[in-house]
Amino acid sequence: MKSIYTVPNILTACRFAIVPVLLFMLQPDRGNVVALAAFFLFLSGALTDLADGYLARKYGIESVLGKLMDPLADKMLVATPLIMLIPMGRIPAWVSLLIISRELAVTGLRGLAAASGIVVSASGLGKIKSVFQYTALCILIFPLGLLPLPFLHDLGRIILYVSLLLTLWSGFDYFVRLKNIYLTSAPDA
């Protein structure tokens, strides 16, 4: 029996632990010190997302638990600032709704596919989408008062809009790939 206490699973668990702390830190008017701490906390969570899958594959320590929990941790880590930055006026609610809705739809499709014994792996497009989401959210979390860059959050919103397009595109791509797998694996009528 494989141990569940692997570095990739521990990194995934860390992302779950980051979420409630981010909820606390990403409140309006917390000040620059707390906002900067939230930035570094979110950045560290994003980096663990990039590291855990790589380490699991490189060292052959992929686990069923990791395959289940990793995408869930990623979605919770992204959804937290998507929601918490709305009242601060940094993210339009409709953008957050579309991104979170896509994530829930893909999670549901993954569950249906898994119940049928079908695995649809993450695509390169999905990985690029994640990098854009993490980049945009890092910029939008970063406190404006620390750097003389008044356009910083505008840049973050532009990157977020690009990530929204990538999010919708990768969601559609996932649906099409799953449909094609179902069609090719279905018995002839």
**Residues 110, 136: Cα–Cα separation, whole Å:** 26
DSSP secondary structure string for all residues of 59-85 = TT---HHHHHHHHHHHHHHHHHHHHHT
C-alpha distances in angstroms, 53 versus 12, 57, 61, 131, 163?
A: 9, 6, 10, 14, 21
Q: What's the mean per-residue pLDDT of the chain?
A: 89
What 3-state DSSP class applies to 119? coil
With tokens 């690029």, the residue in question is 128
Lowest mean pLDDT among 9-13, 34-38, 49-53, 126-130: 49-53
Token couple for 93: 């609610």
pLDDT attached to residue 85: 97
The model's pLDDT over 68-95, given as tens digits with 9 standing for 90+, comes to: 788 889 999 999 999 999 999 999 999 9
pLDDT band at 67 (very low <50, low <70, confident <90, very high): confident
The model's pLDDT over 164-176, given as tens digits with 9 standing for 90+, comes to: 999 999 999 999 9
The model's pLDDT over 113-171, given as tens digits with 9 standing for 90+, comes to: 877 777 777 788 988 999 999 999 999 999 988 888 889 999 999 999 999 999 999 99
Whole-prediction pTM = 0.90
pLDDT attached to residue 48: 92
Residue 32 has pLDDT above 80, yes or no: yes
Residue 2 has pLDDT above 80, yes or no: no
